[in-house]
Structure 1
Amino acid sequence: MFALVVRFDCSDEAAAARFDELTSVVIDHITEKEQGTLVYATAAVEGEPLARVFYEVYRNRDAFEAHEAAEHVRQFHLQKDPLLTSTRVEYLTPGAAKGLDQQ
């Protein structure tokens, strides 16, 4: 398994709204096309209206690489990047969990 958490900080409320629209579209594509993406959960940050956090779990690193190379993800990155003031990526070593296949 391969996992990461990404925090995105949007530049303003309009950028956050557009970011959320783009996220909704890409989630549909990920759900439909990516068998190796096990979890792709997005959230707004309480008390920080311009912040978003993604929690992503992939079957393995190859599945993550395939995700990043997918056209729908590449387009998402191109469209979202101008909306952001910062991005922070943290790669995780999954430990004990409920709800994830630990194979």
Structure 2
Amino acid sequence: MTSGYALVVRFTTRDADAAQQFDALVARTIEGIRSEPGTLVYVVHVPEGEPLVRVFYELYADRDAFQAHENQHHTKHFLKEREQHLTSTEVTFLNETVGKRPAGKEGT
């Protein structure tokens, strides 16, 4: 088993206006996340046919990298501000077993 640690988070926004505001908050937050060395992947998706839903896929080098991400000012700000735009949040934590990693880092 490799040390990768991941999350899938499904956010449902209140309405189209809230979705736009949430997207703007995410865009500001991503700027800080890009400099986190242990955050390997942080991607936001909109599921087909679900314009009010955002699905995040987050891959960290390990649990310590995830905790370092959680401790960042930009992450704490996002966690505080996001609730006003949402009706629900579903989080699934994942332990990596095998896979293909970004930049040629292969899971075994």
TM-score band, normalised by shorter chain: over 0.9
Equivalent in the alignment of 1:57: 59
Match of 2:20 among 9, 17, 29: 17
Q: Given the two structures, how large is their TM-score scaled by the length of structure 1? A: 0.92
Could you tell me which runs of 5 or more consecutive residues in structure 2 were left unpaired when the two chains were aligned: none
Q: What is the DSSP-based 3-state SS (H/G/I as helix, E as strand, rest coil) of the residue aligned with 2:52? A: strand
Residue 11 of structure 2 is aligned to residue 8 of structure 1: yes
| Residue range with higher mean Cα deviation, 87-96 or 67-76 | 87-96
Q: Given the two structures, how large is their TM-score scaled by the length of structure 2? A: 0.88
Aligned equivalents of 2:96, 2:14: Cα separation in 1: 31
What RMSD over aligned residues (CA atoms) do the two structures have, in Å?
A: 1.3
Aligned equivalents of 1:95, 1:70: Cα separation in 2: 27
Residue 95 of structure 2 is aligned to residue 98 of structure 1: no
Higher strand share goes to which structure?
Answer: 1
Percent of aligned pairs with the same residue? Answer: 46
Residue 57 of structure 2 is aligned to residue 71 of structure 1: no
